[in-house]
Each structure stands twice: as structure tokens, then as C-alpha cells.
Amino acid sequence: MDDLYRNQYRITSSRLAGYDYGQNGAYFVTICTKNRQPYFGSIEAPASNWDAAFLRPTLLGEKATEYWGAIPQFAPFIELDAFILMPDHLHGVLLVDKAEPVDKISAPAYENRFGPQSSNLASVLRGFKSAVTTFARHQQLEFQWQARFHDRVVRSAFELEKIRNYIVTNPSRWEKEYENGEGLYR
């Protein structure tokens, strides 16, 4: 049974097989709260104008945004790009730039090697999620993340622009997509 681990379960990886997530590149990530609980706030639309919709954050939402902005302080090889916090998830683009002369938007297929996992996408997001969780616990706020995260290796400048637009317009689509369950990332 190849699909089981110790004859019980097997969780397949959602990562791009053979790809080194520590190399220079652009990464589109989505991180969700457990059971899509709206811990971060609520979407409001002035006078039902969904084109002007925005997140009214909770204290936890404010801290999550603050901690996202602080990522380059503990991971100086990360540059932040587009970002949006939604009631039950966030989207962000992270640029890994380790001062190597590699185009940040190209995604060559490098073989993944076993070794220290301290300077890659997963370690950065693990630190971010941990900081938000720690804050919530210190404030005695109910909060849990969904396990893992969704990612996409951005392969071109055109794709990056599409992702940026998707992120920026996410609040304006909230009512339609949330109520109807549409959209891959909401």
C-alpha cells in the first residue's frame, strides 16, 4: 500500500516535486485559519460598494499584518510583495533574494537536497505562524491555523502581475465567493 504510512495514513506533499524552496524566486502563498474561522476580522463594504470593500481587523488581524511586515527582520533574504489579510486567510507574495545574481521571477528546476531547513519558504512561514499563534495565546484569544499552507512558484512577470491583481481585488470578491463557495483561494 503505497498510499499509507505505517499502514495508517499518508499525506501527500503539495510542494513542487524536486524544487528547492530556498532558492531565489517569487512565491505566492495562502495560509488559512483552521476550519476557515474568521479570526482576523470582517469584510466591510461602504454603502454596499464591494469595489471599496476592506477588512476591519480584529486585534489578532492587526498583529498578523504587523508580523507579516516584520518577516524581513528575521529573514533578511525575504522581500515582501503584494499582501492581503482576509477574515479567515491571507495571501502574500514573498521574494527570496539571497544576493545571488538570479532573476527573482524565474523558477529553474533545481534538485532539492536534504539539509538544514532554516533559510527557505517553509521555515519563514513556520516562524510567522508561530509568532501569530504565540500572540493569540498570550492574549488568551481563540485561534488556530490550518495545517500547512498553499504555495505557487511564480514563473514569470506576467504571472506575478496576475497574482498581484488577484490579491488586491480579493476583498471586493468576498461576498460573492464566500457566500457561494467559489474561488480557489477565496
In a domain, 101, yes or no: yes
In a domain, 145, yes or no: yes
Q: What is the CATH number of the domain that holds 151?
A: 3.30.70.1290
pLDDT band at 185 (very low <50, low <70, confident <90, very high): very low
Contact 177, 186 (CB under 8 A): yes
How far apart are alpha carbons 52 and 49 in whole angstroms? Answer: 6
Q: Stretch 30-56: mean pLDDT, rounded?
A: 93
How far apart are alpha carbons 63 and 157 in whole angstroms? Answer: 30
pLDDT band at 18 (very low <50, low <70, confident <90, very high): low
Q: Which domain holds residue 36?
A: 25-180
pLDDT of 50 over the 70 cut: yes
Cell digits of residue 150:
498553499
In a domain, 10, yes or no: no
pLDDT at 11: 54
0.85 exceeded by pTM = no
What percent of the chain lies above the pLDDT cut of 90?
A: 60
In a domain, 50, yes or no: yes
Q: Stretch 14-38: mean pLDDT, rounded?
A: 81
89-96 sheet: strands from edge to edge: 78-85, 89-96, 25-32, 150-154
Helix (H, G, I), strand (E, B) or coil at 96: strand
Supply the mean pLDDT for the chain: 84
- Tell me the HSE value of 127 on the side-chain side, using a 13 A CA sphere: 17
pLDDT digits (tens, 9 = 90+) for 59-69: 999 999 999 99
pLDDT at 163: 97
In a domain, 62, yes or no: yes
- In the numeric block, the cell 521571477 is attached to 105
Q: Stretch 41-58: mean pLDDT, rounded?
A: 92
pLDDT at 1: 44
- Tell me the HSE value of 89 on the side-chain side, using a 13 A CA sphere: 21
pLDDT at 81: 98
Residues 6+ apart with CB under 8 A from 122: 21
pLDDT at 184: 47
The phi and psi torsions of 67 (rounded to 5 degrees) equal -65, -35
pLDDT of 5 over the 50 cut: yes
In a domain, 6, yes or no: no
**Number of domains, the chain:** 1
Q: Stretch 94-117: mean pLDDT, rounded?
A: 62
Amino acid identity for residue 7 in this structure? N
pLDDT digits (tens, 9 = 90+) for 121-177: 889 999 999 999 999 999 999 999 999 889 999 999 999 999 999 999 999 998 877
In a domain, 81, yes or no: yes
In a domain, 51, yes or no: yes
Q: Stretch 74-88: mean pLDDT, rounded?
A: 96
Nearest to 116 by CA among 22, 11, 16: 22
Amino acid identity for residue 142 in this structure? E
